[in-house]
Structure 1
Amino acid sequence: MTGAADPSAIRQLAAGRRRYGNLKDEAAAFIREAVVSGSLPPRSKVDQDEIAEVLGISRAPVREALIELAQKGFVDAVPRRGAFVAEVTVEDIEDHYEVVALVSGMTTRRAVRKLTAQELDELARLHREIAGTEEASRRRTLDRRFFQIVATAGKSPRLDAILEFLGGVLQGSFYFDSPASADNEAKYREQLLGAIRSGDVAEATRTSEEHVRSCAAVTIDHLRNRGYWPPPEATP
Protein backbone atom coordinates (compact mmCIF):
# COMPACT_ATOMS: atom_id res chain seq x y z
CA MET A 1 0.00 0.00 0.00
CA THR A 2 1.30 3.45 -0.96
CA GLY A 3 1.21 6.52 1.27
CA ALA A 4 0.02 9.85 -0.09
CA ALA A 5 2.23 12.89 -0.57
CA ASP A 6 0.96 16.30 0.56
CA PRO A 7 1.17 18.67 -2.45
CA SER A 8 0.39 21.80 -0.42
CA ALA A 9 3.10 20.95 2.13
CA ILE A 10 5.57 20.33 -0.69
CA ARG A 11 4.81 23.72 -2.26
CA GLN A 12 5.14 25.44 1.12
CA LEU A 13 8.45 23.68 1.74
CA ALA A 14 9.78 24.96 -1.59
CA ALA A 15 8.80 28.58 -0.95
CA GLY A 16 11.75 30.87 -0.25
CA ARG A 17 14.39 28.15 -0.52
CA ARG A 18 17.98 29.21 -1.09
CA ARG A 19 19.12 28.20 -4.56
CA TYR A 20 22.07 25.82 -4.88
CA GLY A 21 24.75 26.08 -7.53
CA ASN A 22 24.16 22.43 -8.45
CA LEU A 23 20.56 21.66 -9.43
CA LYS A 24 20.87 17.93 -8.72
CA ASP A 25 22.09 18.70 -5.18
CA GLU A 26 19.24 21.18 -4.75
CA ALA A 27 16.67 18.59 -5.78
CA ALA A 28 18.24 15.91 -3.56
CA ALA A 29 18.32 18.22 -0.52
CA PHE A 30 14.69 19.21 -1.10
CA ILE A 31 13.48 15.62 -1.38
CA ARG A 32 15.38 14.65 1.79
CA GLU A 33 13.79 17.58 3.63
CA ALA A 34 10.34 16.64 2.33
CA VAL A 35 10.82 13.09 3.64
CA VAL A 36 12.03 14.23 7.05
CA SER A 37 9.21 16.79 7.40
CA GLY A 38 6.57 14.23 6.48
CA SER A 39 5.51 16.04 3.30
CA LEU A 40 6.59 12.86 1.50
CA PRO A 41 5.59 10.05 3.89
CA PRO A 42 6.90 6.48 3.71
CA ARG A 43 5.85 4.58 0.60
CA SER A 44 4.54 7.72 -1.13
CA LYS A 45 5.44 8.24 -4.78
CA VAL A 46 7.93 11.01 -5.57
CA ASP A 47 6.38 12.95 -8.46
CA GLN A 48 9.30 14.14 -10.59
CA ASP A 49 7.15 16.68 -12.45
CA GLU A 50 5.83 18.17 -9.20
CA ILE A 51 9.30 18.45 -7.64
CA ALA A 52 10.68 20.07 -10.81
CA GLU A 53 7.77 22.52 -10.93
CA VAL A 54 7.95 23.70 -7.31
CA LEU A 55 11.73 24.12 -7.55
CA GLY A 56 11.56 25.82 -10.95
CA ILE A 57 13.98 23.40 -12.59
CA SER A 58 13.80 20.74 -15.29
CA ARG A 59 13.10 17.05 -14.69
CA ALA A 60 16.68 16.00 -15.51
CA PRO A 61 18.32 17.09 -12.20
CA VAL A 62 15.36 15.67 -10.27
CA ARG A 63 15.86 12.32 -12.02
CA GLU A 64 19.60 12.44 -11.22
CA ALA A 65 18.81 13.26 -7.59
CA LEU A 66 16.47 10.28 -7.31
CA ILE A 67 19.14 7.96 -8.68
CA GLU A 68 21.55 9.20 -5.99
CA LEU A 69 18.90 8.99 -3.26
CA ALA A 70 18.04 5.42 -4.29
CA GLN A 71 21.70 4.47 -3.90
CA LYS A 72 21.66 5.93 -0.37
CA GLY A 73 18.40 4.27 0.65
CA PHE A 74 16.14 7.32 0.73
CA VAL A 75 13.90 6.05 -2.05
CA ASP A 76 13.09 2.78 -3.76
CA ALA A 77 13.22 2.86 -7.55
CA VAL A 78 10.54 0.56 -9.01
CA PRO A 79 10.89 -0.21 -12.74
CA ARG A 80 8.06 1.29 -14.86
CA ARG A 81 6.39 2.70 -11.74
CA GLY A 82 8.77 5.38 -10.47
CA ALA A 83 10.45 6.28 -7.18
CA PHE A 84 8.82 5.75 -3.80
CA VAL A 85 9.94 6.97 -0.37
CA ALA A 86 11.67 4.12 1.44
CA GLU A 87 10.22 3.05 4.76
CA VAL A 88 12.78 3.06 7.57
CA THR A 89 12.40 0.49 10.34
CA VAL A 90 13.78 0.57 13.89
CA GLU A 91 16.18 -2.21 12.88
CA ASP A 92 17.38 -0.16 9.89
CA ILE A 93 18.27 2.73 12.19
CA GLU A 94 19.98 0.53 14.76
CA ASP A 95 21.99 -1.29 12.08
CA HIS A 96 22.99 1.96 10.39
CA TYR A 97 24.29 3.59 13.54
CA GLU A 98 26.03 0.42 14.71
CA VAL A 99 28.10 0.42 11.51
CA VAL A 100 28.82 4.15 11.89
CA ALA A 101 29.80 3.62 15.55
CA LEU A 102 32.38 1.00 14.68
CA VAL A 103 33.95 3.11 11.91
CA SER A 104 33.84 6.23 14.07
CA GLY A 105 35.58 4.40 16.91
CA MET A 106 38.34 3.32 14.54
CA THR A 107 38.93 6.85 13.23
CA THR A 108 38.89 8.32 16.76
CA ARG A 109 41.38 5.75 18.05
CA ARG A 110 43.79 6.72 15.28
CA ALA A 111 43.15 10.44 15.73
CA VAL A 112 43.88 10.79 19.45
CA ARG A 113 47.66 10.72 19.06
CA LYS A 114 47.71 12.50 15.72
CA LEU A 115 45.70 15.63 16.48
CA THR A 116 47.97 18.67 16.57
CA ALA A 117 47.92 21.36 19.25
CA GLN A 118 46.35 23.68 16.69
CA GLU A 119 43.60 21.17 15.94
CA LEU A 120 42.92 20.68 19.65
CA ASP A 121 42.58 24.45 20.04
CA GLU A 122 40.18 24.48 17.09
CA LEU A 123 38.06 21.72 18.65
CA ALA A 124 37.83 23.69 21.90
CA ARG A 125 36.96 26.87 20.01
CA LEU A 126 34.23 25.12 18.02
CA HIS A 127 32.79 23.61 21.20
CA ARG A 128 32.56 27.06 22.80
CA GLU A 129 31.09 28.65 19.68
CA ILE A 130 28.43 25.97 19.34
CA ALA A 131 27.39 26.50 22.96
CA GLY A 132 26.83 30.19 22.24
CA THR A 133 25.04 29.78 18.92
CA GLU A 134 21.25 30.10 18.82
CA GLU A 135 20.67 29.24 15.15
CA ALA A 136 20.09 25.49 14.75
CA SER A 137 21.50 25.21 11.22
CA ARG A 138 24.66 27.03 12.27
CA ARG A 139 25.08 24.74 15.30
CA ARG A 140 24.77 21.68 13.07
CA THR A 141 27.37 23.05 10.65
CA LEU A 142 29.84 23.73 13.46
CA ASP A 143 29.07 20.38 15.11
CA ARG A 144 29.81 18.51 11.89
CA ARG A 145 33.05 20.46 11.58
CA PHE A 146 34.05 19.42 15.12
CA PHE A 147 33.63 15.71 14.45
CA GLN A 148 35.08 16.03 10.96
CA ILE A 149 38.35 17.32 12.41
CA VAL A 150 38.56 14.26 14.64
CA ALA A 151 37.67 11.89 11.80
CA THR A 152 40.17 13.26 9.29
CA ALA A 153 42.99 13.45 11.85
CA GLY A 154 43.18 9.66 11.68
CA LYS A 155 44.71 10.01 8.21
CA SER A 156 42.68 7.18 6.67
CA PRO A 157 41.12 8.20 3.34
CA ARG A 158 39.21 4.92 3.13
CA LEU A 159 37.58 5.35 6.55
CA ASP A 160 36.89 9.02 5.73
CA ALA A 161 35.11 7.97 2.53
CA ILE A 162 33.00 5.40 4.40
CA LEU A 163 31.94 7.95 7.03
CA GLU A 164 31.16 10.55 4.37
CA PHE A 165 28.91 8.11 2.53
CA LEU A 166 27.13 6.96 5.69
CA GLY A 167 26.68 10.57 6.81
CA GLY A 168 24.52 11.31 3.78
CA VAL A 169 21.80 8.76 4.40
CA LEU A 170 18.31 9.23 5.77
CA GLN A 171 18.82 8.54 9.44
CA GLY A 172 21.23 11.43 9.94
CA SER A 173 18.59 13.86 8.75
CA PHE A 174 16.03 12.35 11.10
CA TYR A 175 18.47 12.65 14.01
CA PHE A 176 19.16 16.35 13.58
CA ASP A 177 15.42 16.94 13.17
CA SER A 178 14.99 15.79 16.78
CA PRO A 179 14.80 18.50 19.49
CA ALA A 180 16.96 16.25 21.71
CA SER A 181 19.89 16.14 19.29
CA ALA A 182 21.45 19.47 20.37
CA ASP A 183 21.85 18.45 24.03
CA ASN A 184 23.03 15.00 22.99
CA GLU A 185 25.73 16.46 20.75
CA ALA A 186 26.88 18.88 23.46
CA LYS A 187 27.22 16.06 26.00
CA TYR A 188 29.40 13.88 23.80
CA ARG A 189 31.47 16.72 22.36
CA GLU A 190 32.53 17.67 25.87
CA GLN A 191 33.31 14.08 26.86
CA LEU A 192 35.25 13.42 23.67
CA LEU A 193 37.23 16.64 23.94
CA GLY A 194 38.21 15.76 27.51
CA ALA A 195 39.35 12.27 26.56
CA ILE A 196 41.37 13.54 23.61
CA ARG A 197 43.04 16.25 25.68
CA SER A 198 44.12 13.67 28.26
CA GLY A 199 45.39 11.33 25.56
CA ASP A 200 43.10 8.52 26.75
CA VAL A 201 42.72 6.45 23.58
CA ALA A 202 40.39 3.86 25.11
CA GLU A 203 38.06 6.47 26.61
CA ALA A 204 37.97 8.54 23.42
CA THR A 205 37.15 5.44 21.37
CA ARG A 206 34.44 4.37 23.79
CA THR A 207 32.94 7.87 23.84
CA SER A 208 32.93 8.08 20.07
CA GLU A 209 31.13 4.77 19.69
CA GLU A 210 28.68 5.54 22.50
CA HIS A 211 27.93 8.92 20.94
CA VAL A 212 26.95 7.36 17.62
CA ARG A 213 24.83 4.67 19.25
CA SER A 214 23.04 7.35 21.26
CA CYS A 215 22.09 8.97 17.95
CA ALA A 216 20.13 5.83 17.10
CA ALA A 217 18.19 6.01 20.36
CA VAL A 218 17.42 9.72 19.90
CA THR A 219 16.29 9.14 16.32
CA ILE A 220 14.03 6.22 17.21
CA ASP A 221 12.41 8.13 20.09
CA HIS A 222 11.85 11.14 17.85
CA LEU A 223 10.22 9.14 15.07
CA ARG A 224 8.02 7.28 17.52
CA ASN A 225 6.87 10.53 19.12
CA ARG A 226 6.19 12.02 15.69
CA GLY A 227 4.06 9.04 14.70
CA TYR A 228 6.33 7.93 11.89
CA TRP A 229 5.45 4.31 12.67
CA PRO A 230 1.82 3.37 13.24
CA PRO A 231 1.00 2.31 16.81
CA PRO A 232 0.89 -1.45 17.37
CA GLU A 233 -2.55 -2.98 16.96
CA ALA A 234 -4.29 -3.70 20.23
CA THR A 235 -4.51 -7.38 21.16
CA PRO A 236 -8.15 -8.46 21.43
Structure 2
Amino acid sequence: MARTSSAQRFVRRSSGNDAALYIRRLIFDGELQPGERVPQDELAHELGVSRIPIREALIALENSGWVTIELHRGAFVNALDEQAVRDHYELFGLVYGFAAKRALARRSPGLQDELAKLADAINHTDDPEELESLAISFHAAITGAARSPRINVVLRAMSGLVPGNFFELVPAAIEGERRGLTAIVRAMKRRDGDRAATEYLRMMRRQGDNVVTVLRERGLLEGAASG
Protein backbone atom coordinates (compact mmCIF):
# COMPACT_ATOMS: atom_id res chain seq x y z
CA MET A 1 0.00 0.00 0.00
CA ALA A 2 1.48 3.36 -1.03
CA ARG A 3 1.58 6.09 1.60
CA THR A 4 1.53 9.83 0.98
CA SER A 5 3.94 12.21 2.66
CA SER A 6 1.36 13.17 5.29
CA ALA A 7 1.36 9.64 6.69
CA GLN A 8 5.11 9.25 6.27
CA ARG A 9 5.67 12.17 8.66
CA PHE A 10 4.80 9.84 11.55
CA VAL A 11 7.82 8.39 13.31
CA ARG A 12 7.93 4.75 14.29
CA ARG A 13 5.68 4.11 17.28
CA SER A 14 5.33 1.31 19.75
CA SER A 15 2.17 1.76 21.82
CA GLY A 16 -1.41 0.95 20.96
CA ASN A 17 -2.38 4.60 21.50
CA ASP A 18 0.20 5.82 19.00
CA ALA A 19 -0.77 3.12 16.51
CA ALA A 20 -4.40 4.25 16.85
CA LEU A 21 -3.37 7.83 16.11
CA TYR A 22 -1.46 6.67 13.03
CA ILE A 23 -4.44 4.68 11.73
CA ARG A 24 -6.85 7.55 12.39
CA ARG A 25 -4.57 9.86 10.42
CA LEU A 26 -4.51 7.42 7.50
CA ILE A 27 -8.32 7.40 7.55
CA PHE A 28 -8.50 11.19 7.92
CA ASP A 29 -6.10 11.67 4.99
CA GLY A 30 -8.14 9.29 2.82
CA GLU A 31 -5.43 6.64 2.57
CA LEU A 32 -7.78 4.16 4.21
CA GLN A 33 -11.28 4.58 2.79
CA PRO A 34 -14.64 3.70 4.39
CA GLY A 35 -15.32 0.01 3.78
CA GLU A 36 -11.64 -0.80 3.25
CA ARG A 37 -10.00 -3.58 5.25
CA VAL A 38 -7.25 -2.35 7.58
CA PRO A 39 -3.97 -4.06 6.53
CA GLN A 40 -2.66 -5.03 9.96
CA ASP A 41 0.55 -6.72 8.81
CA GLU A 42 1.52 -3.79 6.60
CA LEU A 43 0.85 -1.29 9.36
CA ALA A 44 2.90 -3.29 11.84
CA HIS A 45 5.77 -3.35 9.34
CA GLU A 46 5.52 0.39 8.68
CA LEU A 47 5.57 1.20 12.39
CA GLY A 48 8.23 -1.36 13.23
CA VAL A 49 6.05 -3.11 15.81
CA SER A 50 4.40 -6.48 16.36
CA ARG A 51 0.72 -6.95 15.62
CA ILE A 52 -0.14 -6.60 19.31
CA PRO A 53 -0.14 -2.75 19.35
CA ILE A 54 -2.06 -2.79 16.07
CA ARG A 55 -4.73 -5.05 17.57
CA GLU A 56 -4.90 -2.84 20.67
CA ALA A 57 -5.31 0.18 18.42
CA LEU A 58 -8.11 -1.43 16.42
CA ILE A 59 -10.02 -2.37 19.57
CA ALA A 60 -9.81 1.25 20.74
CA LEU A 61 -10.81 2.51 17.29
CA GLU A 62 -13.82 0.18 17.21
CA ASN A 63 -14.92 1.53 20.59
CA SER A 64 -14.75 5.08 19.21
CA GLY A 65 -16.52 4.21 15.95
CA TRP A 66 -13.64 4.45 13.47
CA VAL A 67 -13.61 0.75 12.50
CA THR A 68 -15.67 -2.42 12.79
CA ILE A 69 -13.93 -5.69 13.65
CA GLU A 70 -15.45 -8.77 12.01
CA LEU A 71 -14.57 -12.22 13.31
CA HIS A 72 -12.12 -14.08 11.04
CA ARG A 73 -12.24 -11.22 8.51
CA GLY A 74 -10.40 -8.33 10.13
CA ALA A 75 -11.13 -4.67 10.78
CA PHE A 76 -12.92 -2.43 8.29
CA VAL A 77 -13.01 1.36 8.16
CA ASN A 78 -16.34 2.95 9.06
CA ALA A 79 -17.86 6.11 7.70
CA LEU A 80 -18.39 8.44 10.66
CA ASP A 81 -21.83 9.41 11.90
CA GLU A 82 -22.43 13.16 11.60
CA GLN A 83 -24.60 13.39 14.70
CA ALA A 84 -22.04 11.46 16.73
CA VAL A 85 -19.39 14.00 15.71
CA ARG A 86 -21.65 16.87 16.77
CA ASP A 87 -22.45 15.08 20.03
CA HIS A 88 -18.73 14.70 20.71
CA TYR A 89 -18.18 18.46 20.66
CA GLU A 90 -21.44 19.14 22.48
CA LEU A 91 -20.16 16.97 25.33
CA PHE A 92 -16.84 18.82 25.34
CA GLY A 93 -18.77 22.07 25.68
CA LEU A 94 -20.87 20.74 28.55
CA VAL A 95 -17.89 19.38 30.47
CA TYR A 96 -15.72 22.46 30.01
CA GLY A 97 -18.69 24.69 30.82
CA PHE A 98 -19.22 22.79 34.05
CA ALA A 99 -15.50 23.18 34.79
CA ALA A 100 -15.74 26.94 34.24
CA LYS A 101 -18.60 27.21 36.73
CA ARG A 102 -16.72 25.09 39.24
CA ALA A 103 -13.55 27.19 38.75
CA LEU A 104 -15.47 30.36 39.59
CA ALA A 105 -16.93 28.72 42.68
CA ARG A 106 -13.40 27.81 43.81
CA ARG A 107 -12.35 31.47 43.53
CA SER A 108 -8.89 30.63 42.21
CA PRO A 109 -6.71 33.77 42.48
CA GLY A 110 -5.42 35.19 39.22
CA LEU A 111 -7.46 32.86 37.01
CA GLN A 112 -9.26 35.57 35.06
CA ASP A 113 -6.02 37.43 34.34
CA GLU A 114 -4.33 34.23 33.18
CA LEU A 115 -7.23 33.41 30.86
CA ALA A 116 -7.27 36.94 29.46
CA LYS A 117 -3.55 36.77 28.63
CA LEU A 118 -3.94 33.42 26.90
CA ALA A 119 -6.96 34.59 24.89
CA ASP A 120 -5.10 37.75 23.87
CA ALA A 121 -2.12 35.69 22.71
CA ILE A 122 -4.44 33.48 20.66
CA ASN A 123 -5.89 36.59 19.03
CA HIS A 124 -2.40 37.69 17.96
CA THR A 125 -0.97 34.57 16.34
CA ASP A 126 -1.79 32.61 13.21
CA ASP A 127 0.72 29.82 13.82
CA PRO A 128 -1.20 26.53 14.24
CA GLU A 129 1.34 25.04 16.65
CA GLU A 130 1.28 28.09 18.89
CA LEU A 131 -2.50 28.30 18.68
CA GLU A 132 -2.88 24.70 19.77
CA SER A 133 -0.46 25.13 22.66
CA LEU A 134 -2.22 28.29 23.86
CA ALA A 135 -5.69 26.77 23.53
CA ILE A 136 -4.62 23.70 25.50
CA SER A 137 -3.20 25.98 28.19
CA PHE A 138 -6.47 27.95 28.34
CA HIS A 139 -8.63 24.86 28.79
CA ALA A 140 -6.14 23.36 31.24
CA ALA A 141 -6.25 26.54 33.33
CA ILE A 142 -10.03 26.18 33.57
CA THR A 143 -9.96 22.52 34.56
CA GLY A 144 -7.03 23.06 36.91
CA ALA A 145 -8.87 25.85 38.72
CA ALA A 146 -11.96 23.66 38.99
CA ARG A 147 -9.90 21.21 41.07
CA SER A 148 -12.20 18.30 40.24
CA PRO A 149 -10.51 14.96 39.46
CA ARG A 150 -13.75 13.64 37.96
CA ILE A 151 -13.72 16.33 35.28
CA ASN A 152 -10.23 15.24 34.24
CA VAL A 153 -11.30 11.59 34.15
CA VAL A 154 -14.20 12.43 31.82
CA LEU A 155 -12.02 14.53 29.51
CA ARG A 156 -9.33 11.86 29.29
CA ALA A 157 -11.98 9.38 28.15
CA MET A 158 -12.96 11.67 25.25
CA SER A 159 -10.23 11.25 22.65
CA GLY A 160 -10.01 13.89 19.95
CA LEU A 161 -11.56 13.21 16.56
CA VAL A 162 -8.98 15.17 14.57
CA PRO A 163 -5.67 13.24 14.41
CA GLY A 164 -3.10 16.00 14.43
CA ASN A 165 -2.95 19.75 14.92
CA PHE A 166 -6.59 20.79 15.19
CA PHE A 167 -6.10 24.30 13.81
CA GLU A 168 -3.96 23.14 10.90
CA LEU A 169 -6.43 20.48 9.81
CA VAL A 170 -9.57 22.53 10.57
CA PRO A 171 -8.55 26.12 9.67
CA ALA A 172 -12.04 27.55 10.24
CA ALA A 173 -11.70 26.54 13.88
CA ILE A 174 -9.19 29.35 14.48
CA GLU A 175 -11.77 32.12 14.30
CA GLY A 176 -14.27 30.01 16.23
CA GLU A 177 -11.78 29.52 19.05
CA ARG A 178 -10.89 33.21 19.17
CA ARG A 179 -14.50 34.33 19.37
CA GLY A 180 -15.39 31.67 21.90
CA LEU A 181 -12.48 32.24 24.26
CA THR A 182 -12.98 36.01 24.19
CA ALA A 183 -16.61 35.53 25.22
CA ILE A 184 -15.65 33.03 27.92
CA VAL A 185 -13.07 35.42 29.39
CA ARG A 186 -15.66 38.20 29.45
CA ALA A 187 -18.06 35.98 31.38
CA MET A 188 -15.36 34.76 33.76
CA LYS A 189 -14.34 38.34 34.56
CA ARG A 190 -17.95 39.08 35.44
CA ARG A 191 -17.99 35.92 37.57
CA ASP A 192 -20.99 34.76 35.56
CA GLY A 193 -20.65 30.99 35.57
CA ASP A 194 -23.85 30.35 33.66
CA ARG A 195 -22.76 32.68 30.86
CA ALA A 196 -19.29 31.11 30.75
CA ALA A 197 -20.87 27.66 30.45
CA THR A 198 -23.19 28.90 27.69
CA GLU A 199 -20.29 30.40 25.75
CA TYR A 200 -18.24 27.21 26.10
CA LEU A 201 -21.11 25.17 24.73
CA ARG A 202 -21.68 27.63 21.89
CA MET A 203 -17.99 27.56 20.94
CA MET A 204 -17.77 23.78 20.97
CA ARG A 205 -20.91 23.49 18.86
CA ARG A 206 -19.30 25.78 16.28
CA GLN A 207 -16.17 23.66 16.35
CA GLY A 208 -18.31 20.57 15.84
CA ASP A 209 -19.83 22.24 12.77
CA ASN A 210 -16.34 23.01 11.46
CA VAL A 211 -15.16 19.43 11.96
CA VAL A 212 -18.28 18.06 10.25
CA THR A 213 -17.55 20.28 7.25
CA VAL A 214 -13.98 18.98 6.97
CA LEU A 215 -15.04 15.35 7.39
CA ARG A 216 -17.75 15.77 4.76
CA GLU A 217 -15.26 17.31 2.32
CA ARG A 218 -12.97 14.33 2.87
CA GLY A 219 -15.79 11.84 2.27
CA LEU A 220 -15.59 10.44 5.79
CA LEU A 221 -19.21 10.90 6.86
CA GLU A 222 -22.01 8.43 6.24
CA GLY A 223 -23.67 9.33 2.96
CA ALA A 224 -20.89 11.75 1.95
CA ALA A 225 -19.47 11.36 -1.52
CA SER A 226 -15.71 11.03 -1.51
CA GLY A 227 -13.86 13.45 -3.73
| Length-normalised TM-score, structure 2 | 0.84
Q: Deviations over 1:83-119 (max 9, x none)?
A: 1222212222223233333323222221223252343
Structure 2 SS opposite 1:187: helix
Aligned length: 223
| Percent identity of equivalent pairs | 30
Q: Provide the rounded CA distance (Å) in 2 between the counterparts of 1:123 and 1:43.
A: 44
Which runs of structure 2 are paired with 1:65-144 in the superposition (5 Å)? 65-114=57-106, 116-144=108-136
Q: Please name the residue that 1:17 is paired with.
A: 10
**Residue 161 of structure 2 is aligned to residue 170 of structure 1:** yes
Q: Provide the rounded CA distance (Å) in 2 between the counterparts of 1:85 and 1:153.
A: 39
Does the CA contact (< 8 Å) of 2:79 and 2:220 recur in 1?
no
Instruction: Give the alignment's Cα RMSD to 1 decimal.
Output: 2.6
Q: Provide the rounded CA distance (Å) in 1 between the counterparts of 2:8 and 2:109.
A: 45
Q: 1:41 aligns with which of 28, 33, 36?
A: 33
**Residue 200 of structure 2 is aligned to residue 208 of structure 1:** yes
Q: Deviations over 1:23-81 (max 9, x none)?
A: 32321221121122121222222111111122222222222222222222222222211
**Residue 186 of structure 2 is aligned to residue 194 of structure 1:** yes
After superposition, the Cα gap between the structure-2 partners of 1:138 and 1:18, relative to the gap in structure 1 and judged at 3 Å, is farther
Structure 2 SS opposite 1:112: helix
Q: Please name the residue that 1:32 is paired with.
A: 24
Structure 1 SS opposite 2:105: coil
Q: Which amino acid aligns with 1:170?
A: L
- CA-CA distance at 1:175 after TM superposition: 6.2
Which consecutive residues of structure 2, in runs of 5 or more, have no partner in the other structure?
none
Q: Provide the rounded CA distance (Å) in 2 between the counterparts of 1:18 and 1:68.
A: 20
Q: Please name the residue that 1:3 is paired with.
A: none
Q: Please name the residue that 1:220 is paired with.
A: 212
After superposition, the Cα gap between the structure-2 partners of 1:100 and 1:140, relative to the gap in structure 1 and judged at 3 Å, is same
- CA-CA distance at 1:228 after TM superposition: 3.5
Q: Please name the residue that 2:48 is paired with.
A: 56
Q: Which amino acid aligns with 2:64?
A: K
Does the CA contact (< 8 Å) of 2:94 and 2:197 recur in 1?
no
Q: Provide the rounded CA distance (Å) in 2 between the counterparts of 1:96 and 1:163.
A: 11
After superposition, the Cα gap between the structure-2 partners of 1:12 and 1:173, relative to the gap in structure 1 and judged at 3 Å, is closer
Structure 2 SS opposite 1:43: coil
Which consecutive residues of structure 1, in runs of 5 or more, have no partner in the other structure?
1-6
Structure 1 SS opposite 2:106: coil
| Length-normalised TM-score, structure 1 | 0.81
After superposition, the Cα gap between the structure-2 partners of 1:77 and 1:138, relative to the gap in structure 1 and judged at 3 Å, is farther
Name whichever of 128-137 and 86-95 sits farther off.
Answer: 128-137
Q: Provide the rounded CA distance (Å) in 2 between the counterparts of 1:18 and 1:131.
A: 32
- CA-CA distance at 1:181 after TM superposition: 0.9
